[in-house]
């Protein structure tokens, strides 16, 4: 063999040997590795410390517990919640997490991926969607994530979750989109709907962390798990996050969306009457004359089969979808009218403020009023931490439950109430659900009252 050819073959063989580890190393840079390296620095650890009031005696008997509450003051103890968050605006230091992670916290600390720790303030929180926005003020910009489009998610698509389960910082798990538009119970008669279901492991401490696609875009915020099941986790879609964050930053609260419809669930008898094979969809009971739906030609007796191209299950599903739509957005409905299906396009509006008093009077049978200093002193609460019942309609649901003028309203659903305007806003957001719960207080005694439709 010629000398030059031998030297060339030896050189080629040596080059191939050198390239093997490089190629092997390159092949290990999977999409998951790349996503974690890109998004990981924007994931933070959150600890929230506050004092909570607990009853010193709990027997399980409501009458006995009420007796103890009347004669024994609640005890206070310190409680710390741990969770995750993700930086969505590095210049302004804005962080998104779950509202339950920071609920009741008087001192909130945020630890970055580089171990720096900052005090954080709550810019806004929305317990109804379990989202909150925090802000820290570091020197210089921070890494941030890119927000994707949860409306484009596909069943079976790969997902990556990053968080701090059990305090173990920056833990990475992977999975797929198991289902979309899931609804999870969060309490008696209360739901969190429109969720992404995934089999990526989500454990305590993951709450508030990002759920990402293989392109490194945030498609959801991890929020809930079934404690009794394995491999089932949930996340709030990023499209809802965008809507909630924008409202919290601009208005301090989420503005209710209004189409001007009163609705009812379908049952098998009604479904059969309309020639439907199943009881999915909602029946229009009325359309407000000045509402977007009425202006688009909708009226009593129509059946809404889908919203935004996705089938509707019931009124609760409608309310959950509506909560993700911002005022001004275009809405596409598929309706059934006298056996014929047609699409209706309309533009959503903000719930009219002037309808709030009427909604409270008809649905609950009461008129709220601001809490004055004397009422706060009588009930031993901080000024601005509640409102009170001003008037009761005789024979109303509130009156039959034993409520009285002067009783305090502390929460609507999971949302604390500090003024009458906020009360009307939250009531409007819950108006389509079959049940609205109010946390009421009289003296030292507190109780949740549930108002059925």
Active site residues: 100, 130, 207
The length of the chain, given as a count of residues? 453
3-state helix, strand, coil in the chain (%, to 5): 25, 40, 35
102-106: Cβ within 8 A, 24+ apart: 102/46, 102/48, 102/132, 102/134, 103/48, 103/127, 104/48, 104/50, 104/51, 104/52, 104/79, 105/48, 105/49, 105/50, 105/81, 106/49, 106/50, 106/51
Inter-CA distances, 197 with 240, 398, 399, 447, Å: 15, 38, 41, 33
C-alpha to C-alpha distance for 288 and 30, rounded to whole angstroms: 54
CB atoms < 10 A from the CB of 27, how many?
A: 8
**The pair of three-digit structure tokens given for residue 282, joined into one six-digit string:** 């909602």
3-state secondary structure of 257: strand
CA distances from 70 to 55, 366, 441 (A): 11, 26, 12
Helical spans, DSSP H, in 252-385? 268-273, 292-295, 315-323, 356-363, 373-379
| Residues in contact with 41: Cβ distance below 8 Å, sequence separation at least 6, in sequence order | 112, 113, 114, 143
3-state secondary structure of 362: helix
Three-state DSSP at 453 gives: coil
Distance, in Å, from the CA atom of 163 to the CA atom of 436, rounded to the nearest integer, reads 33
User: Residues 431, 126, 257, 182: is their CA dihedral positive or negative?
Assistant: negative
């Amino acid at each position: 063999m010629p000398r030059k050819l031998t030297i060339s073959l030896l050189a080629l063989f040596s080059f191939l040997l050198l390239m093997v580890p490089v190629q092997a190393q390159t092949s290990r840079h999977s999409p998951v590795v790349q996503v974690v390296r890109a998004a990981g620095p924007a994931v933070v650890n959150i600890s929230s410390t506050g004092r909570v009031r607990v009853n010193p005696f709990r027997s399980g008997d409501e009458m006995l517990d009420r007796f103890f509450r009347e004669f024994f003051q609640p005890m206070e103890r310190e409680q710390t919640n741990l969770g995750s968050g993700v930086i969505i605006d590095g210049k302004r230091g804005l962080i998104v997490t779950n509202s339950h992670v920071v609920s009741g916290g008087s001192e909130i600390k945020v630890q970055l991926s580089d171990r720096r720790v900052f005090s954080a303030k709550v810019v806004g929180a929305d317990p109804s969607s379990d989202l909150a926005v925090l802000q820290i003020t570091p020197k210089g910009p921070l890494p941030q994530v890119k927000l994707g489009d949860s409306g484009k998610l596909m069943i079976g698509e790969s997902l990556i979750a990053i968080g701090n389960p059990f305090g173990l910082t920056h833990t990475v798990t992977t999975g797929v989109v198991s289902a979309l538009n899931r609804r999870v119970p969060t309490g008696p008669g209360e739901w969190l709907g429109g969720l992404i279901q995934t089999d990526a492991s989500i454990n305590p401490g993951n709450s508030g962390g990002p759920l990402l696609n293989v392109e490194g875009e945030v498609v959801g915020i991890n929020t809930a798990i079934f404690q009794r099941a394995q491999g089932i986790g949930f996340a709030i879609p990023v499209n809802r996050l965008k809507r909630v964050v924008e409202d919290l930053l601009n208005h301090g609260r989420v503005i209710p969306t209004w189409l001007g419809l009163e609705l009812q669930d379908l049952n098998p008898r009604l479904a059969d009457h309309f020639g439907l094979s199943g009881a999915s969809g909602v029946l229009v009971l009325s359309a407000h004359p000045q509402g977007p739906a009425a202006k688009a030609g909708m009226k009593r007796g129509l059946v809404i089969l889908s919203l935004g191209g996705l089938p509707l299950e019931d009124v609760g599903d409608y309310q959950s979808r509506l909560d993700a739509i911002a005022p001004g957005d275009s809405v596409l409905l598929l309706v059934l009218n006298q056996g014929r299906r047609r699409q209706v396009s309309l533009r959503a509006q903000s719930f009219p403020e002037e309808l709030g008093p009427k909604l409270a009077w008809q649905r609950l049978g009461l008129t709220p009023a601001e809490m004055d200093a004397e009422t706060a002193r009588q009930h031993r609460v901080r000024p601005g931490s509640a409102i009170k019942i001003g008037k009761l309609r005789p024979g109303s649901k509130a009156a039959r439950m034993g409520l009285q003028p002067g009783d305090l309203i502390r929460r609507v659903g999971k949302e604390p109430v500090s003024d009458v305007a906020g009360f009307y806003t939250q009531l409007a957001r819950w108006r389509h659900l079959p049940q609205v719960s109010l946390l009421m207080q009289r003296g030292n005694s507190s109780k949740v009252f549930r108002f059925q439709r």
